[in-house]
Amino acid sequence: MDIRENIPLAPYTTLKIGGPARFFASATKESDIAELVRFAKKNRRRLLVIGEGTNILVADVGFSGLVIKMEIKGRRVSASASASASASASAADPETVLVEASAGEIWDELVDWSVSEGLYGLENLSAIPGTVGAAPIQNIGAYGADASNVITNVRAFDTSKMAFVDLSNEDCRFSYRDSIFKQKKGRYIVTSVIFALKKRGRVNIEYRDLKEYFKRLGKTDPVALTPKMVREAVIEIRWGKLPDWKKWGTAGSFFKNPIISAKRYESIKAKYPDAPGFPEPDGRVKISAAWLLDRICKAKGLMEGNVGMYENQALVLVTKPGATAAAVVDFTTKLIEQIEHETTVKLEAEVEWVN
């Protein structure tokens, strides 16, 4: 295999920041993964798997291990899906189509294809940059949907067992922007994901921005809407809130929305009566990091040198050429401290720190 040395990582990330990888290789087939893991173990090097690099902040000194660029491609529908027991159970349902996509596929190409087939399930997750393999890792979510709602199985290389394993949705331990792949960091390398999509269904336009969008068009009955219409709406909404990825360095939302106790939320409301909170199934409340940044730090459009927050969305960090990881850490640490000082809530990065 072609394992290259000292490869600058900045061009492989959408933040366009970061020093070199000590070792770097592309994986285009499953057997490459096993071979590269053996190489890393033999040389006592850590592993980092990247897709499109849309959610990582690489340190200026770079990464001293082996970076695997995931480029395994392919998509199979239903019959040929490497279905496990639970997946084949859903395949028996004539309304369900199982789609297995390889980790290196571009996420939005999968979504685009699924809506063009008239399938329900991925439309709310339109226009999210990145690869299919990254979707289960941080359980990508947007506009009222999470990838975990439609993932039935994940195939991965287990670096402890040195074998490929098939994980069910339950095995993946999904929650908000979290999964076993983050909890047991470094153990699994995702190689493909199986999604259960529906031939017939009902779109979900409960998320405020989507509801308002269709209300403006006078289309409030979800039954009359297709996945394609929802995809178009999501693309338009995202376009207004997220920066042009070609123009700015960015990784989308930089922080997670904090989930706090109802009691804690009440105490924040006492100080900031209009602080938005969204109830979680377990009784806790998800509060808006964007709102905190906007209200407390006046973060929209706030720039410090080559680093700042996007003018239309306070949660989205942007960088200009010349930005360093150190400058991002400096800038975001100040925001975290300011919010913690005002509310006692400590924002956590959503973007993964690589060093």
Measured over all CA atoms, what is the biggest interatomic distance in the chain, rounded to whole angstroms?
A: 62
Cβ at position 350, least distance to ligand EPU in Å: 5
Please give the C-alpha separations between residue 201 and each of 137, 198, 222, 264, in angstroms, as whole numbers. Answer: 26, 6, 10, 38
177 is catalytic: yes
Q: Which is nearer to ligand EPU, 13 or 253 (CB)?
A: 253
Element (H, E) at 148: none
| Contact pattern from residue 200 through residue 219 relative to ligand EPU, giving x for each residue in contact according to CB under 6 A and a dash for the rest | --------xx----------
Report the relative pairing of strands 96-102 and 75-77 from DSSP bridges: antiparallel
Minimal CB distance to ligand EPU: which residue? 252
Is 256 a residue that touches ligand EPU (CB under 6 A)?
Answer: yes
Is 314 a residue that touches ligand EPU (CB under 6 A)?
Answer: yes
Report the relative pairing of strands 20-27 and 4-8 from DSSP bridges: antiparallel
Q: Which stretch, 185-193, 211-219, 285-293, 323-331, contacts ligand EPU (CB under 6 A)?
A: 285-293
Among positions 57, 180, 290, 323, the unique one binding ligand EPU when judged by CB under 6 A: 290
* DSSP category for residue 124: G
Please give the C-alpha separations between residue 338 and each of 37, 88, 105, 252, in angstroms, as whole numbers. Answer: 42, 51, 39, 21
Q: Which is nearer to ligand EPU, 186 or 276 (CB)?
A: 276
Q: How many residues bind ligand EPU (CB under 6 A)?
A: 19
Among positions 14, 139, 153, 253, the unique one binding ligand EPU when judged by CB under 6 A: 253
Q: Which stretch, 58-66, 100-108, 150-158, 290-298, contacts ligand EPU (CB under 6 A)?
A: 290-298
Lookup: tokens for 219: 């289309």
Q: Which is nearer to ligand EPU, 158 or 342 (CB)?
A: 342
Is 179 a residue that touches ligand EPU (CB under 6 A)?
Answer: no
Among positions 87, 142, 156, 297, the unique one binding ligand EPU when judged by CB under 6 A: 142
Lookup: tokens for 77: 């529908």
Element (H, E) at 87: helix 85-91
Compute how many other C-beta atoms are within 10 angstroms of the C-beta atom of residue 208.
Answer: 12
Is 69 a residue that touches ligand EPU (CB under 6 A)?
Answer: no
Cβ at position 300, least distance to ligand EPU in Å: 5
What does the chain come to in residues? 355
Among positions 158, 294, 311, 342, the unique one binding ligand EPU when judged by CB under 6 A: 294
Which residues, other chains included, contact 22 with Cβ-Cβ below 8 Å and sequence gap of 6+? Answer: 5, 6, 45, 62, 63, 64, 65, 66
AA letter at 183: Q
Q: Which of residues 77-136 bind ligand EPU (CB under 6 A)?
A: none
Say if CB 66 and CB 38 are below 8 A apart: no
| Contact pattern from residue 258 through residue 277 relative to ligand EPU, giving x for each residue in contact according to CB under 6 A and a dash for the rest | ------------------x-
Question: Which among 56, 78, 85 has a CA at the least distance from the CA of 69?
Answer: 56
**How far apart, in whole angstroms, are the C-alpha atoms of residue 58 and residue 21?**
10
Compute how many other C-beta atoms are within 10 angstroms of the C-beta atom of residue 110.
Answer: 20
C-alpha dihedral sign at 336, 339, 344, 350: negative
Is 149 a residue that touches ligand EPU (CB under 6 A)?
Answer: no
Cβ at position 30, least distance to ligand EPU in Å: 28
Among positions 143, 188, 195, 213, the unique one binding ligand EPU when judged by CB under 6 A: 143
Is 300 a residue that touches ligand EPU (CB under 6 A)?
Answer: yes
Catalytic, out of 177, 179, 231, 284: 177
| Phi, psi angle pair for 278, to nearest 5° | -125, 120
Is 350 a residue that touches ligand EPU (CB under 6 A)?
Answer: yes
> Which active-site residues does the annotation give?
177, 253, 350
Where on the chain is the footprint of ligand EPU (CB under 6 A)? 142-143, 208-209, 241, 252-253, 256-257, 276, 288, 290-291, 294, 300, 313-315, 350
